[in-house]
Structure 1
Amino acid sequence: MAKLYSYVLLAFFMALLVRSKSGPIDSNWYDAHATFYGDMNGGETMQGACGYGNLFRQGYGLKTAALSTALFNDGFACGSCFEIKCVNDPEWCIKGAPPIIVTATNFCPPNYSKPDGNWCNPPLKHFDLSMKMFTSIAIYRAGIIPVQYRRVPCTKFGGVKFEIKGNPYWTLVLVYNIANAGDVSSVSIKGDKTNWVPMSHNWGQHWLTDTYLVGQVLSFRVTTSDGKTLEFNHVTPKNWGFGQTFEGKINF
C-alpha cells in the first residue's frame, strides 16, 4: 500500500511538472490583427530582423510571425512564442480551427507613407504570419483577420545554440533554440582567460562584445525575459572559428 501511495505521489508531482512547462506564460488573451506573407512554402524563410538565418535549418520552419513595433520590443521579443486564434469574424475564420502557435522571427515595419496608415504602425498589435499558419485559422481570401493572442512557453529540442560571427576584435553571437520564455534579456560571455563579460544587445537576437576571445574556450551566461538564468560552461573548444555554431548541453 505504501509503495502504491508513493507511485501516486510521484505521478501527481510529474503532472505538476509537465503542466508548469506547458501552461501559458500569460493566461490572458489580447486583441490584435493578423495578415500573411509569402506562399505555402514560406517565401521569406531566410534571415529577417531577428537574424535567425534559415528558419527551416534552425528548427522554426513555417510556424513563424513578424511582429509589429508594439510587440517587437526592439528585437528583445525575438524567439518568444504566441498562441493565436481567429475571432469575431464568422465569414473568414475557419470554424472549429484550433489556435496556432508561432515563434517571433521577424519585424513587421511601420509604413507612415500610407494615408490610411498601416497595420504594423504603432500602437497597433499585429502579426504577419506565414501563409501556412494564416490559412490554418482563416480563409485565404480574408487577407487580414481579427485575432486574439497570448504568450506561451516555447517547446524546443536539444540545447541552446550559439552562432559566433564577427572578427578577432568584435564577437557577435546569435543565441537561439531557447525553450520556455524563448526570448533573451541579457547575455554574458567568458573565455578561459577572462572573467564574465556582459554583452551588449546589438540587433535582433545578436549580442556583441569587443573583448578579445580568440583561442579561448568560451562559456555563456543567458537570462531570459522571465528572469531565469543558466550558465553554459565550456561550450566551444579553443580552436573555434567565426561562422561556427555550438550547442549547449542544457536548455530552459
Structure 2
Amino acid sequence: MAPSIRSWRLWSLALMLATVVGEYGSAMGGGSYGYAPSSRGFQPSPWSLAHATFYGDETASETMGGACGYGNLFLNGYGTATAALSSTLFNDGYACGTCYQIKCVQSPWCFSGSPFTTVTATNLCPPNWSQDSNNGGWCNPPRTHFDMSKPAFMKIAQWKAGIVPVMYRRVPCIKPGGLRFQFQGNGYWLLVYVMNVGGGGDIASMWVKGSKTDWISMSHNWGASYQAFSSLGGQSLSFKLTSYTTRETIIAYNVAPANWNVGLTYQATVNFH
C-alpha cells in the first residue's frame, strides 16, 4: 500500500462541500442545454505507460473532497471509480473531470486477463520531495502516476502490491444525469463548481449569463471551479463552457431560477456523451 500518500491528502478533506440539489435544478427540472459540435467523436488516446497506487480503504471515504472541489463523490455521481493525478497529469486543475481506462501490466500482482477499469480524475496527488521518485515519491514530477481509490485499484490488481505498472489512455466520459452547477460565494461573487461533465470531461473556459446581462467571462479559481465578480442576484442564470480537450462548447440555458441561492446545486436535465 501507500500509506504516506494518504497522509499528504488529509488537507483535501477540508475542501469538501455539502451538496444539496435545489428544487429548480432537480433531475425533473432545471435547465436544458445545447452544444456546438465542434469536435464530436472524441476518440480514446493511445495507451501509455504509468504507475498506480491507491489511498483509503474499501469504503473510499478518504477520497471525498479533493483538489477538484467535487465534494461528496457519492452524492455527485462519481462513486468509487476515481483517482488522484500526479501534477504532471493534473495540469493545474484543468484535468479535473477527465476519464481514463487503466489496466495493470508486467506485474505478478495483476489480475489475469489484464482487465481495465475506468476512473474519473477528482483529486491531486501532490509531490513528496522527501522521498525518491522511485521509492515513495511516486507523484513527483515528471512521473505520470495515478493514486486510485482502493475499490478501483482492486479491479485491476491485488491491493497487497501497493504499486503496479499500468497502461492508461484517455477516454470520453459518459456521465448520465446532466451537468451539475454547485453555487458558492455571495451577492457580488459567484463561485461555481461544475460536475458530471460528459465528453472530454474537462473545462477550459466558462461564462455566465443573467437574464438581464450579456455573457460574462468567468475566471478559473481552482480545480473545477470558476468565478464571476458580478452582482447576479435576482436573475435566472445560464452557463456556457468549453472543453479543454475537445474545444466543444456547451450552452446550458436557464440552469438556475431568479431566486437561486449559494449552497445549492442546480442541474441541466440533459447531458452529452
TM-score (norm 1): 0.88
Give the corresponding residue for 2:155.
Answer: 136
* Percent sequence identity over aligned pairs: 53
RMSD: 1.4
**C-alpha displacement at 1:180, in angstroms?**
1.3
SS of corresponding position for 1:137: coil
Distance 1:83 1:24 in 2: 13
CA contact (8 A) 2:82 2:119 kept: yes
Name which of 93, 96, 101 aligns with 1:83: 101
For residues 1-252 of structure 1, the aligned pairs below 5 Å read: 24-26=43-45, 28-89=46-107, 91-115=108-132, 118-225=137-244, 226-252=246-272
Question: How many residue pairs get matched?
Answer: 230
Which string of whole-angstrom CA distances, capped at 9 and with x for unpartnered residues, describes residues 205-248 of structure 1? 00011011011110100111211001111111100001111111
TM-score (norm 2): 0.81
**C-alpha displacement at 1:249, in angstroms?**
3.0
Distance 1:43 1:214 in 2: 35
Distance 2:151 2:256 in 1: 37
Give the corresponding residue for 1:4.
Answer: none
Which string of whole-angstrom CA distances, capped at 9 and with x for unpartnered residues, describes residues 40-83 of structure 1? 11131321000000000111111000000100000010000000
User: Which AA in structure 2 matches 1:110?
Assistant: P
Give the corresponding residue for 2:5.
Answer: none
**C-alpha displacement at 1:169, in angstroms?**
1.6
Which string of whole-angstrom CA distances, capped at 9 and with x for unpartnered residues, describes residues 9-38 of structure 1? xxxxxxxxxxx86x7431x11110000011
Moved more, 207-216 or 113-122: 113-122
User: Which AA in structure 1 matches 2:131?
Assistant: K
Which has the higher relative contact order, 1 or 2, with Cα contacts under 8 A spaced 6 or more apart? 2
CA contact (8 A) 2:172 2:198 kept: yes
- Give 1 or 2 for the bigger CA radius of gyration: 1
CA contact (8 A) 2:104 2:115 kept: no
Distance 2:165 2:242 in 1: 33
Moved more, 72-81 or 222-231: 222-231
Name structure 2 gaps, 5 residues minimum.
1-39
Structure ranking higher in helix proportion:
1
**C-alpha displacement at 1:164, in angstroms?**
0.8
User: Which AA in structure 1 matches 2:262?
Assistant: F
SS of corresponding position for 1:44: helix
User: Which AA in structure 2 matches 1:31?
Assistant: L
Moved more, 225-234 or 145-154: 225-234
